[in-house]
Amino acid sequence: MEQRRTGPPNDGPRRGTPPRTPLPPQAGHRPGRVRGARGGRGPAPGAGRSARQVEGAGPVGEARPGPAGRRLPNPRLTGLGSGLFCAGAMFLLGCLDQLLFGASPTVYGVLFLPVCVLTALWVRGGDVLTAPVVLPLAFAVGLLPVAESGGGLLGHLMGLVTGLATQAGWLYGGTLVAGVIVLARRAAWVRARRGHG
């Protein structure tokens, strides 16, 4: 009775046999596509995310502004906020005028013009008509440290009235400049509201 030889299983290729050559690529196979479970072709994984991975951008078509595309600050003040802003600014400028220029009314009037422009530009569209109203009040508040006073409450009031009378040109000029800016902004705001409506 013959005995069968036992040995390790033949897992590798036999000696003397040529190695297997890789199969040629199939016709019509394109890189970047894989076959699905049923033989269909689909996009390679990660191919759809290539458009979103450009410079770490978010959704397609959204570009992040660079350092050169930064805009200047453009605050939007309410009617009350614009009044507080221009009154506080004019009071500080009046104190500065008294300390540096000896309470010069001309310097105070010149400083009033940029405050009028900033107030008219920074108030929001819905409250833009309040700018010409609060500017005369702010002018009077800032004139307190500049106006000459003879002492006491009555003296301060008389100095304030005299300062308003002598500096009425700066007051009217600044209010007129702010009024022109306000009217232009109001017209643009009304057109934008009608366009959206």
In this predicted model, what pLDDT tens digit does every residue of 170-195 receive, in sequence order?
999 999 999 999 999 988 888 888 88
The pLDDT assigned to 122 comes to 92
Which tokens belong to 170? 């700066």
The pLDDT assigned to 37 comes to 42
- Average pLDDT over every residue of 106-135: 92
At 34, which helix (H) or strand (E)? strand 33-35
Q: Which range has the worst mean pLDDT, 68-72, 117-121, 147-151, 188-192? A: 68-72
The pLDDT assigned to 70 comes to 57
Confidence of residue 55 (pLDDT cuts 50, 70, 90): very low
Which tokens belong to 79? 């009617």
Cα separations in angstroms, 175 against 28, 54, 122, 136: 77, 51, 15, 7
Q: Would you give the DSSP letter of residue 77?
A: B
Helix axes 131-142, 105-122, angle to 10 degrees: 150
Q: Output b/e per residue, 127-148; b: 16+ Cβ within 10 A.
A: bbebbbebbeebbbbbbbbbbe
Helix/strand/coil for 113:
helix
The pLDDT assigned to 57 comes to 42
Does 116 or 19 have the greater pLDDT score? 116
Residues 172 and 116: beta-carbon distance below 8 Å? no
Alpha-carbon gap, residue 103 to 99, rounded angstroms: 7
The pLDDT assigned to 103 comes to 87
